[in-house]
Amino acid sequence: MLADRTTLTQFLIEERRRHPDASGELNALILSVALACKAIGTAVAHGALAGMLGDVSSVNIQGETQKKLDVIANDIFL
């Protein structure tokens, strides 16, 4: 069953071959976002064991106290 699935990287390589005139910048962006999502998933999986839960001493633009995972996710994406 898993053999029938195409990975994101495989799909992007195939699409790049279909469009050789493309710059590849979109592929790079998509892969960067995918890598960031994996890093955030790891942080969420470690949760309280890695001190990832709880509030930080800052407030977001809506006036809400920020959560550690929110700050970490933002830093990863930046």
Quick one: tokens of 45? Answer: 């999986």
Mean pLDDT of the residues in the chain: 88
User: Which pTM was predicted?
Assistant: 0.74
Query: Is the pLDDT confidence value at 1 over 60?
Result: no
Query: Is the pLDDT confidence value at 63 over 80?
Result: yes
**More confident: 50 or 65:** 65
Q: For 17-46, how does the pLDDT look when each residue is reduced to its tens digit (9 = 90+)?
A: 999 998 989 999 999 999 999 999 998 888
pLDDT given for residue 38 in this prediction: 95
